[in-house]
Amino acid sequence: MTSFLVEKNTKRSFSEKIAKLAVKTQQNINASRKSFSRVCIEYYDGRSENDIFAELKTLKGNEQTQAIQDVLQSWIDWQYQNDSLTTSVKQYISKIKRIFSHEGISTILRTLMSLWNTSLV
């Protein structure tokens, strides 16, 4: 049985969670989510971001970490292929972690730090 505290937080929509943030921050988060959705469709045979998150949640341990890193690396590569500046990519990375966190992907911070150190510096 799930705690009523967990259920309340899960039912809260992502939009509600970010509504109190600055407008520019909300715009950057939404832009990150939109670009991530496009990557999911383009790189993963038309699958939605929800499909990708569901698949990531089925994986465990190192397999999940590797899959998250691969997905994020594809997303970073896509950003550069579409002429995003490094500063923009770093900004989007700082926002995409909110999306992954909302989706319940717990290893995201470690993976992001790994990507940050190897891909962007």
**Is 8 within the bounds of a domain?**
no
Non-local (6+) Cβ contacts of 88 within 8 A are 79
Average pLDDT over residues 54-69: 88
pLDDT of residue 16: 85
Domain that holds residue 59: 24-83+92-119
Average pLDDT over residues 7-12: 55
**Is 69 within the bounds of a domain?**
yes
**Is 42 within the bounds of a domain?**
yes
**Is 63 within the bounds of a domain?**
yes
**Average pLDDT of every residue of the chain:** 82
99/53 Cα distance (integer angstroms):
10
CB 79 within 8 A of CB 110: no
25/91 Cα distance (integer angstroms):
10
Non-local (6+) Cβ contacts of 68 within 8 A are 56, 100, 105, 107, 108, 111
**Is 112 within the bounds of a domain?**
yes
Please count the structural domains in the chain.
1
Q: Is the pLDDT of residue 110 over 70?
A: no
**Is 4 within the bounds of a domain?**
no
Q: For the purposes of burial, counting CB atoms within 10 Å of the CB of 16, is it exposed (0-12), middle (13-18) or buried (19 or more)?
A: exposed
101/9 Cα distance (integer angstroms):
12
**Is 40 within the bounds of a domain?**
yes
**Is 114 within the bounds of a domain?**
yes
105/78 Cα distance (integer angstroms):
21
